[in-house]
A and B are shown apart, each in its own frame.
Chain A
Amino acid sequence: MIDPQLINLPVTVSLGLIQIGSFLFLRASKNMAFPVAVMAFVVVASVAVLVQLLFPKVDATAVHISVSALVVILAFLYARPHCIEAFLKAAGAGVVTAALFVVSQVVTRLGGYSSIGFGDGQTVIGISEGFQAGVYDRPDGIIGLKRGFGLPAYQSLGFEGEFLVGFLPVVFLAALVATYVLLSNLISNKTLLNVLYVSLLLILLSTESVTRHIYLMNTHALLWAVFAVLLAGLLKFVKSEQDKSAWVMVCVALAAGSMLRADNLLILAPTLVLLTWVARSQPKSHRIGFWVATFVPFAAWATILGFELPVLGPLGFPVFAVFGILVGLGVMWLMDKPWASDKVMQWLAKGVLVGTLVLAFALSPSAWTSIVNMFINLFLGEGLWGATPLFLVLLYVAVILFDRGPVSQQQKWIFALVAGTMGAMILAKFGDGLSQSGTLGGFARIGWGDSLNRMLVYLIPGASALLILRAERVWNRFDAKSKRQVVANQTKKRP
Chain B
Amino acid sequence: MRRSGLVAAALALLTSFGVAAVSLFGFPRDMFVTQGISTFDSSTIVGEKLWNETPVQLLNTFMRGGTLLNPGMPGEGGFEFGTRLRLAYGDEKIGFGNQIADVRDGVTKDVLDAFRSNLRTTGYESVTPCPHDYDLDCEVIFTWNRDRTKEVGIQMVFIRLGEMEYGVVDDSLLGTE
Contact = CB atoms under 8 A, between A and B. Distances in A.
B114 interface: no
B1 A482 contact: yes
B111 interface: no
Contacts of B15: 199
Given A115-B34, A482-B4, A449 B57 contact: yes
Contacts of A381: 27-28, 84
B46 A126 contact: yes
Given A162-B42, A200-B16, A113 B57 contact: no
A206 B60 contact: no
A384 B28 contact: yes
A198 interface: yes
B104 interface: no
A125 B46 contact: yes
Interface stretch (B18-26, B67-75, B160-168): B18-26
Nearest to B87: A376
B41 A199 contact: no
Interface in A135-163: 158, 161-163
Contacts, number: 165
B57 A387 contact: no
B40 A109 contact: yes
B88 A211 contact: no
B28 A206 contact: no
Given A208-B29, A387-B19, A391-B19, A117 B36 contact: no
B34 A116 contact: yes
A487 to B, nearest CB: 11
Given A113-B33, A115-B34, A163-B42, A382 B87 contact: yes
A116 B87 contact: no
B107 interface: no
B108 interface: no
B122 interface: no
B174 interface: no
B9 to A, nearest CB: 4
A196 interface: yes
Interface residues of B, number: 51
Nearest to B22: A387
Interface string A86-115: 000000000000000000000001011111
A116 B51 contact: yes
Contacts of B35: 111-113
Contacts of A214: 32-33
A110 to B, nearest CB: 10
Interface stretch (A71-79, A175-183, A344-352, A440-448): A440-448
Interface in B1-56: 1, 4-5, 8-9, 12-13, 15-17, 19-24, 26-38, 40-43, 45-46, 49-53, 56
A486 B1 contact: yes
B87 A215 contact: no
Contacts of B22: 386-387, 391
Interface string B79-91: 0000010011000
Interface size class of A (residues with CB under 8 A): 35 or more
B84 A208 contact: no
Given A109-B40, A445-B64, A486-B1, A114 B30 contact: no
B27 A211 contact: no
Contacts of B27: 381, 385-387
Q: Which of A117, A199, A207 has the most CB of B within 10 A?
A: A117
Contact of A447 (B16, B37, B88): B88
B60 A202 contact: no
A25 B42 CA distance: 36
A212 B32 contact: yes
B124 interface: yes
Contacts of B64: 440, 445
Nearest to B29: A208
A208 B51 contact: no
Given A126-B42, A446-B87, A112 B37 contact: yes
Q: Which of B38, B41, B42 has the most CB of A within 10 A?
A: B42
A162 B16 contact: no
Contacts of B24: 206, 386
A122 B24 CA distance: 28
A303 interface: no
B23 A114 contact: no
Contacts of B150: 437-438
A368 interface: no
B43 A161 contact: yes
B42 A128 contact: yes
A162 B46 CA distance: 11
Contacts of A447: 56-57, 60-61, 88
A310 to B, nearest CB: 28
15 contacts: A115-B51, A116-B52, A122-B46, A125-B42, A199-B13, A203-B23, A206-B19, A208-B32, A214-B33, A382-B84, A387-B22, A446-B87, A448-B60, A475-B8, A482-B1
Which 4 A/B pairs are nearest by Cβ-Cβ distance? Answer: A386-B23, A447-B60, A206-B20, A117-B53
Interface of A: 109, 111-119, 121-122, 125-126, 128-129, 158, 161-163, 165, 191, 195-196, 198-200, 202-203, 205-208, 211-212, 214-215, 376, 380-382, 384-388, 391, 437-438, 440, 445-450, 475, 478-479, 482-483, 486
Interface of B: 1, 4-5, 8-9, 12-13, 15-17, 19-24, 26-38, 40-43, 45-46, 49-53, 56-58, 60-61, 64, 84, 87-88, 124, 150
